[in-house]
Amino acid sequence: MSSQVDTNAPRGVVNFPLYRSLPRLIKDPLKELERMGRAADGEIFQLDLGASRPWVVTHPDHVQQVLRREAENYLREGVFWRPLRTLMGDSILAERAEWEFSKRVLQPVFTTRNVHAITDQMAAAVNTAVEPLGAAAAMGRPIQVLPEMGRIVNETVIKVLFGDKISTAEAELLIPAMDEVATSIACRFLLPFMPRAIPLPGDRAFKKAVQVMDDTLFGLVARYREEPGPGHDIFTALCRARTPDGRALPDQWIRDNLLAMFATSTETTTVALTWLWPLLAAHPRVAERLYDEIGRVVGDDRVVRPEHLRDLEYVKRVVQELLRLFPVGWMFPRVAVRPGVIGGVPIKAGQTLLISPFLTHRLASVWDRPLEFDPDRFAPERAAGRHRYAYFPFGGGPHQCIGRHVFNVEAQLILASILSRFRPVAPPLAAVEPRIGATLRPDRDIEMILTAVGPVQ
Ligand code: HEM
């Protein structure tokens, strides 16, 4: 254990003195958290933020206790959830009865069976969305990675998950507004104790973007709520939902859930796929194995089909390892309802716990050479026997991500579709740092040049 740890703390509790940790937390919060996580090495530790002292829980056993075994005692409430709650009200991202009801309505869209049924549509949408990259490749023009990944993900998600009900004009309003919401909320997310009456950077942009989203989403609700059609998409499920006594739901509830689903299904996938390119640039041997597998499986017509997924074993491992190093849902807080004990440490009712796959995925006592990008960690023989909560990019327990199958299929299709047609040249990982906010975005714009494989597409 590091010499920075306060050894006078009670047994079983690791403390980091405020005077040492606070300046570093302000300067580079993620680096400092990572350093503390490494030093505590799986023991629960308290983050001294002055006004608040949340516990940080990283050991896989403890994570399992909070997210699953005692999930009813550790709820998604408190100041950390306030910005999201303000934005998305009583949606699937809430807690208790409101969450349960929304979840019951939306879950059927995401069953393995339904995801399987929409894979054809998803593959077609991905192939179409990847095609325009050919123009930039032909001219040797660099692309901006995050907006391009966002475009491909948005086009796919709108077609498949929202039943193609969002028009191009509406998408052109929603997408930049969602992007603005995701970035402008960062300050509130990092300073959750700050009263709303005190203005913070980003507040005005946030309000304006929410207004644009509201105008567009309420317009969609008005257009479709009476006749949503027969589809199995998110929109149809929300418009068709009824309360237990048979009443239709208010427009506001549909809007809250549309916004929650649009945010969770686009921002996460876009940011995860953005990290892939600097990682591949830094690991040419991984890239070569990917090219080889994709070339062999997808073949010369360079059109990815659902049946290819079964044979894209290495693509799957790369996507899994990508989310180990960059779990874009990097931290999710809980509040203790009643007193509890975690790893021998007493937790008082009302205290906040921070769960972070980013920290757990980087623990040396859990992962061999944790900072190395090594997709073969997910080869069946190496993954066998691993703790269920050593790897949890999608959370766990009752709130486990309902979009995880969609993400896996979509990410593999996008990766295979791009690399069956192009070879990328991106800056290596060392040139880019993650910056914390609601997700784990890169701290700068990443440009990439694509070259067409074989005849220009
Ligand atoms: C890289 C991709 C993704 C990551 C890393 C991710 C991560 C997560 C995590 C960590 C949670 C748990 C939050 C908690 O316990 O408080 C979660 C929940 C959720 N995710 Fe995802 N997610 C991803 C993609 C998606 C997609 C594609 C969708 C929808 C299509 C989605 C929809 C949701 C929803 C609705 C919840 C809330 C579930 C509940 O509380 O019952 N996510 N996600």
* Side-chain half-sphere CA neighbours of 265 within 13 A: 30
pLDDT score for 289? 98
Count CB atoms within 10 A of the CB of residue 98.
16
Residue written as token pair 């995801």: 115
- pLDDT at res. 1: 37
Atom of ligand 1 minimally distant from the CA of 272: 1
Q: Which of 51-55, 66-70, 393-397 has the lowest mean pLDDT?
A: 51-55
As for ligand 1, residues whose beta carbon falls within 6 Å of it are 76, 92-93, 103, 161, 264-265, 268-269, 272, 323, 327-329, 332, 393-395, 399, 401-403, 406-407
Q: CA–CA distance from 95 to each of 79, 102, 253, 334 (Å)?
A: 14, 10, 14, 11
Measured distance CA(165)–CA(254) in Å, rounded: 14
CA distance 431 to 429: 5
Q: What spacing in Å lies between the alpha carbon of 395 and ligand 1's midpoint? A: 8
Calpha distance 245→243 (Å, rounded): 5
Asked whether residue 93 carries a pLDDT value surpassing 50, the answer given is yes
Neighbouring residues of 152: CB distance < 8 A, sequence distance ≥ 6: 126, 129, 130, 273, 414
Nearest to 147 by CA among 169, 170, 180, 186: 180
> What is the mean predicted confidence (pLDDT) over 91-119?
95
Q: What's the token pair of residue 176?
A: 């930049």
pLDDT in tens, 197-208: 888 888 899 999
Residue nearest (by alpha carbon) to ligand 1 atom 39: 399
- The mean pLDDT of the chain is 92
pLDDT band at 11 (very low <50, low <70, confident <90, very high): very low
Closest atom of ligand 1 to CA, residue 357:
10
Please give the number of the atom of ligand 1 that sits closest to the Cα of 103: 41
Q: How many angstroms does the Cα of residue 89 sit away from the middle of ligand 1?
A: 17
Which ligand 1 atom is at minimum distance from the Cα of 392? Answer: 10
Atom of ligand 1 nearest to the CA of 110: 30
- Residues 432-441 pLDDT 10s: 999 888 889 9
What pLDDT was estimated at residue 73?
98
Compute, in angstroms, the gap from residue 402 CA to the centroid of ligand 1.
Answer: 6
**What are the structure tokens assigned to 22, written together?**
């606070």
Q: Taking a C-beta distance cutoff of 8 angstroms, is the pair 315, 416 a contact?
A: yes
Q: Residue 51 — pLDDT band, cuts 50, 70, 90?
A: confident
What is the Å distance from ligand 1's center to 289 Cα?
Answer: 29
DSSP 95-133: -HHHHHHHHHHHGGGGSHHHHHHHHHHHHHHHHHHHTTH
**Per-residue pLDDT tens digits for 346-394:** 999 999 999 999 999 999 999 999 999 999 999 999 999 999 999 999 9
Q: Tell me which of 47-51, 209-213, 235-239, 302-306 is least confident.
A: 47-51
| Stretch (H or E) spanning 347 | strand 345-347
Amino acid 7: pLDDT? 39
Give CA separation, 46 vs 13, 409, 456, in Å: 8, 38, 56
pLDDT at 455: 59
d(CA 114, CA 402): 12
At 366 the three-state DSSP class reads coil
Over the stretch 382-431, which tens digit does the pLDDT of each residue have? 999 999 999 999 999 999 999 999 999 999 999 999 999 999 999 988 88
Tell me, in angstroms, the distance from the centre of ligand 1 to residue 264's CA. 6
pLDDT of 187 higher than 50: yes
Give the DSSP H/E element, type plus range, for residue 319: helix 313-325
CA dist., res. 294 & res. 416, Å (int): 6
Give the residue-averaged pLDDT of 153-161.
Answer: 95
pLDDT tens-digit readout, 13-35: 566 766 666 777 777 889 999 99
Contact 262, 174 (CB under 8 A): yes
* DSSP-assigned letter for residue 12: T
What's the average model confidence in pLDDT over 24-52? 87
Ligand 1 centre to CA of 423 (Å) is 30
* Residues paired with residue 452 on neighbouring β-strands, in sequence order: 422
Strand partners, 354: 56, 333
121: exposed, middle or buried (C-beta count within 10 Å: 0-12, 13-18, 19+)? middle
Q: Which atom of ligand 1 is nearest to the CA of 400?
A: 12
Tens digit of each residue's pLDDT (9 = 90 or more) over 125-134: 999 999 999 9
Which residues lie closer than 8 Å to 154 by C-beta, 6 or more apart? 171, 175, 266, 270
Query: What is the per-residue pLDDT for 27?
Result: 76
- As a whole number of angstroms, the distance between CA 130 and CA 419 comes to 10
Give the pLDDT band of residue 276 (cuts 50, 70, 90): very high
> How many angstroms separate the alpha carbon of residue 393 from the centre of ligand 1?
9
pLDDT of residue 236: 94
CA of 345 to the centre of ligand 1 (A): 29
Per-residue confidence (pLDDT) for residue 5, from 0 to 100: 44
Alpha carbon nearest to ligand 1 atom 28, residue: 403
Given a contact cutoff of 8 angstroms between Cβ atoms, the answer to whether 76 and 90 are in contact is no
* Position in ligand 1 atom list of the atom nearest CA 410: 27
Q: Which amino acid is at 442?
A: P
Q: How far is the centre of ligand 1, averaged over its atoms, from the C-alpha of 192 (Å)?
A: 21
Q: Residue 41 C-alpha to ligand 1 middle, in angstroms?
A: 26
Query: Which domains, and CATH codes, for the chain?
Result: 54-452 (1.10.630.10)
Pocket test for ligand 1, best of 268, 318, 330, 352 (most atoms within 8 A of CB): 268
Average pLDDT (102-111) is: 96
In this structure, what DSSP letter does residue 393 have? T
